[in-house]
Amino acid sequence: MNIRLRAFIIFLGMLLIAVVFTFPLWRPFFVRTVVTDVFPGLNAEQQNAFLLLSDDQQQIFNDLRKEDATIAVAMAQAATSPDIIIPTEQQGMPTLLNPSVVAGGSFREIDAIHTATGTATIYQLPDNSRLLRLENFKVTNGPTLHIYMTRNATPVESKDIGTDYIDLGLLQANVGNQNYPVPSEVDLSAYRGLVIYSAPYNVIYSTAELRLS
């Protein structure tokens, strides 16, 4: 083996060693990494949370995105964000003077991404003032959720809400016991439905049929 060939082989060996040890430095210039969002419109943390959803939940969101991307993204962003929880010290039952239970019910699931658990109870005081209390309550986090009282006891779609609903206000949180005043003039024999409702997007998240005591 002549000197030139030997030198060339040594050079190739040294070049190979240099390539191996410096690979992490030059790799980004030659290797293109393609990152695909599992659900467009979500940030990195929300993308990871989306992957933790069940297959049924992911499928519903993806089907909804084909129908209305704006609504789907807003709902997915809320569902994959941290829960809003009522502070423990604010979850207690307020002091009521001689209250009586006049109506109550339990929340139910609409589908895999629109669901709530817990109970709703309406208390009435001797002065006819009323209080709605949600206990052991949890609903899928959604965009701008309100709590409605409706004439339809078990609405499923937004058209079932009607126009004469009673808006008790913005939901205080999607997790935790909470209280809402109920107007004394509300006819509980007529308003038999309690609805967790995304007002901007006209989506029902859960309902509870109120039964008179």
CATH number of the domain within which 179 lies:
2.60.40.200
Examine the domain organization and report whether 197 and 110 are in the same domain.
yes
Q: 178 near 137, Cβ under 8 Å?
A: yes
The secondary structure of residue 28, as a DSSP letter, is: H
Examine the domain organization and report whether 114 and 198 are in the same domain.
yes
Position 205 in a domain? yes
Examine the domain organization and report whether 121 and 139 are in the same domain.
yes
Q: 105 near 210, Cβ under 8 Å?
A: yes
Distance separating alpha carbons of residues 84 and 138, to the nearest angstrom = 10
Examine the domain organization and report whether 120 and 169 are in the same domain.
yes
The secondary structure of residue 159, as a DSSP letter, is: G
pLDDT tens-digit map of 80-113: 999 999 999 999 999 999 999 999 999 999 999 9
**Residue 1: what pLDDT?**
55
Position 23 in a domain? no
pLDDT tens-digit map of 183-207: 999 999 999 999 999 999 999 999 9
Position 154 in a domain? yes
Examine the domain organization and report whether 130 and 158 are in the same domain.
yes
pLDDT higher at 20 or 62: 62
- Cross-strand partners of 69: none
Examine the domain organization and report whether 110 and 53 are in the same domain.
no
User: Which of 57, 79, 101 is the last residue before a domain boundary?
Assistant: 79
Position 18 in a domain? no
pLDDT tens-digit map of 68-81: 999 999 999 999 99
Examine the domain organization and report whether 96 and 135 are in the same domain.
yes
Position 4 in a domain? no
Residue 3 tokens read as 């000197």
> How many domains, the chain?
2
pLDDT tens-digit map of 13-35: 566 665 555 655 545 444 443 34
In degrees, rounded to 5, the angle at the alpha carbon of residue 73 between the alpha carbons of residues 72 and 79 is 90
User: Which of 55, 79, 103 is the last residue before a domain boundary?
Assistant: 79
Examine the domain organization and report whether 140 and 172 are in the same domain.
yes
Distance separating alpha carbons of residues 173 and 152, to the nearest angstrom = 24
Domain that holds residue 55: 44-79
pTM score, whole prediction: 0.81
